[in-house]
Amino acid sequence: MQKRTLGKSDLTVSAIGLGCMGMSFSYGPPKDKAEMTALLRTAVERGVTFFDTAEVYGPFINEELVGEALAPFRSRVVIATKFGFDLSTDPRGGKGAPRLNSRIENIRQVAEASLKRLKVDAIDLFYQHRVDPDVPIEDVAGAVKELIQAGKVKHFGLSEAGAQTIRRAHQVQPVTALQSEYSLWWRKPEAEVIPMLEELGIGLVPYSPLGKGFLTGKLDAATTFDSSDFRSRLPRFTPAALKANQALIDLLGQIAKKKNATPAQIALAWLLAQKPWIVPIPGTTKLQRLDENLGAAAVQLTPDDLRDIESAAAKIKVEGARYPEQLEQLTGR
């Protein structure tokens, strides 16, 4: 597996990481612990060194799974986790939008609890999960800076933050990475965020790089989602939107045939070709999909390929919002 460095930091990870959320959270009931442990350990054997989790995934059980599964490989892996939600009450706040909590005392408490669940002496990369408008970002960055100075955290990250917030945080404590959704069907970061990341030397970690499964080509207008699958609540996954967005899958399929690859591999290879400091973290619970995703690192898209993709994608209007309004309001701040 090739390696990449996140921005100007000294954090070097596998070119493709593994998002672990779906093993415990959001995509139906939690998966079998023994099976997921085996998958995580196989990922290490395949060369993956970058694993993504968060306290809210479960809550808590995903960090416990990742910590236990990767304990034998601690010196070989980088584990990222996140803080920023109020889990003392219903994280959905009873209104569909999670409650935020990035107060300094909560950041410290989350760090201590995550250290125990992950079975580590220091958190490799500690993201603010969503920007909390009630806490100045300078205070958040300062709290993480203190944790770094205390040896409990190694790197500071932000998730779904807006350009100005990132810049302000970076002045207090250098931001190693921004985690945000980015893929061929969500390209909003290209307008302001990616140029600013390049200017400041911050890495980008795209989550949902396969469009929450859509860009694999395995979903269509007839696909149904269990009520425990959060895609059942997303506007972009209604039958009408899935049908309307099929043109993007057709495009990926055409290029995949030329490259002897799969649509998912083309979608990931496209991301890797954008910048050398982009590290996508596709999630999966299946070994077959893990191997397919990792195979994308070997797919070489030429400048002509990228121009063809760009030209064709420009003619496709993606239908449907990516999140309900309450959740979208938590992004880009």
Catalytic residues: 57
Q: Going along the chain, which residue ranges are E strands? A: 3-5, 12-14, 18-19, 50-52, 78-83, 123-128, 153-159, 175-181, 203-207
Using DSSP, state whether 255 is helix, strand or coil. Answer: helix
Which token pair is 65?
Answer: 């799974």
Residue 18: C-alpha distances to residues 23, 111, 165, 255 (Å)? 11, 21, 26, 24
Report the alpha-carbon angle 205-98-142, nearest 5.
60
Task: Detail the DSSP E strand segments found in 26-111.
Answer: 50-52, 78-83
Strand partners, 278: 204
- Residues 12 and 5: beta-carbon distance below 8 Å: yes
Does the CA dihedral 18-206-331-132 come out positive or negative?
positive
